[in-house]
Amino acid sequence: MITAVRKPLEEIMGFAAPYSRVLLLGCNECVTVCYAGGRKEVGILASALSMAFLKEGKKLDIVEQTLERQCDPEYVEEIAQTIDQYDAVFSMACGCGVQTVAGRYKDKPVFPMVNTMFMGASERQGVWAERCAGCGECVLGRTGGICPVARCSKRIFNGPCGGSTKGKCEIDPGVDCAWQLIWDRLKALGRTDLYSEIMPAKDWRSAKDGGPRRIVREDLLS
């Protein structure tokens, strides 16, 4: 999922300062699962913001709504009838959702309420860790299911580097060395032969280095 964390309230209050009525818009997808911007988080932030303003003797009218997905135009269309009632939209979705809303309602200020972090998986309740960097050319089949792009600090393809000590990365003793994990897993699978193959230099154009990316599926176009 795409993970996110709520922005500091001070920053959010700065966004809200010029307005008197805002739509606080949650998203039912990734940010709900990582407890950053779902219906419940919308309620908590609305309460906190409302109290923070009232304490200063100011009133901020906050209307709470949560869409099924903010990154799909058909769901964003649901607020078309009511959007004129608000001075601004405070989106609790990831950056994709914020931009979809801003793109649809061009004359309405849209502000992000969360900092979008990474594509991650849940390690346990309350902990998420980066697992995919969206590089556009998956190598997990050759690395025992452990990603050297997302989980190696240097993103190297023929590791480990000299900074690997006792299975940990030199950047932080709390960070596993991805290449140690890859080696251990390949060994367990009896596929250390994959490790012996030198991987060629990666073509990063399939990742972000080739500019903004799009997927066009001819079979689905309408």
Partner 1 sequence: MSDFEPIIVAFACEYCAYTAADMAGSLGMSYPPNVKIIRVPCTGKVDTLHLMRALQKGADGVLVAGCYLGDCHYKNGNLRAQQRVGYVSRLLEEIGVGGERVMMTFMSAGQGNVFAQVANEFTEKIRNLGPNPVKLGAGKAAA
Binding site for partner 1 (CB under 8 A): 8-10, 40, 43-44, 47-59
Question: Between 53 and 90, whose beta carbon lies closer to partner 1?
Answer: 53
CA-wise closest residue to 179 among 218, 150, 152, 203? 152
Question: Between 8 and 134, whose beta carbon lies closer to partner 1?
Answer: 8
Q: What's the CA gap between 168 and 151, in Å, rounded?
A: 12
SS3 89: strand
Closest approach, Cβ 29 to partner 1, in A, equals: 20
Question: Between 11 and 130, whose beta carbon lies closer to partner 1?
Answer: 11
Closest approach, Cβ 12 to partner 1, in A, equals: 10
Question: Between 52 and 140, whose beta carbon lies closer to partner 1?
Answer: 52
Across 154-183, b (16+ Cβ under 10 Å) vs e yields ebebebbeeebeeeebeeeeeebbbbbbbb
Number of Cα atoms under 13 Å in the Cβ half of residue 180: 14
Closest approach, Cβ 2 to partner 1, in A, equals: 22
Closest approach, Cβ 37 to partner 1, in A, equals: 14
Closest approach, Cβ 46 to partner 1, in A, equals: 9
With contact defined as beta carbons under 8 Å apart, do 138 and 152 qualify?
no
Closest approach, Cβ 7 to partner 1, in A, equals: 11
Question: Between 87 and 170, whose beta carbon lies closer to partner 1?
Answer: 87
Would you state the structure tokens that stand for residue 83, as one six-digit string? 């959007």
What is the DSSP code string of 173-215? Answer: EEEEPHHHHHHHHHHHHT-HHHHHSPPPPP-GGGTGGG-S---
Question: Between 9 and 207, whose beta carbon lies closer to partner 1?
Answer: 9
